[in-house]
Amino acid sequence: MTRPDVILLDHLYAHPPAAVWRALTDPALHARWWAAGDIQPIVGHRFELDMGKWGKQPCEVIAVEPERLLCYRFATGQLDTTITWRLAPEGAGTRLTLEHAGFDLSSPMGRSALEGMKPGWPKLLVRLGDVLGT
């Protein structure tokens, strides 16, 4: 069942989970495919992602299973959404599932963010693959 307030995507990468995990959790790699910030796979870790013209967005890690799951609150105090990354080995590669949930569709900002991020996330997943290939 699809929910209107959730972006749900998956992408298959020809790289093992350890490599995909590094791209999600290493600040230098993360900055190359999405946004600069001191992301760390530690529950309770607070960090900011520099979203350029949208400013620095506060985040907090809420769940970690190394090489399997990373979940954090995104844009706390503004959008108050949750980003969940799930990694599953598939053949010699990794299936990465992204769930960006909790958009408040009753607010103009929530609707606008969803409309902007829905087409943006697939492009970012391709960029993540480009970083994995280097």
Six-digit token pair at 28? 């230098």
- Determine the distance from the C-alpha atom of residue 113 to the mean position of all C-alpha atoms in its chain, rounded to a whole number: 14
- For the segment 28-60, what is each residue's pLDDT rounded down to a tens digit? 999 999 999 999 999 999 999 999 888 899 999
- As a CATH number, domain 7-132 is 3.30.530.20
- For the segment 71-113, what is each residue's pLDDT rounded down to a tens digit? 999 999 889 999 999 999 999 999 999 999 999 999 999 999 9
Q: Is the pLDDT of residue 134 over 60?
A: no
Q: Whole-angstrom Cα distance, residue 29 to residue 7?
A: 23
Name the strands in the sheet holding 6-13, side by side, starting at the edge strand that comes first in the sequence: 6-13, 93-101, 81-90, 69-74, 56-65, 46-50
According to the model, what pLDDT value does residue 45 have? 98
Domain ranges of the chain: 7-132
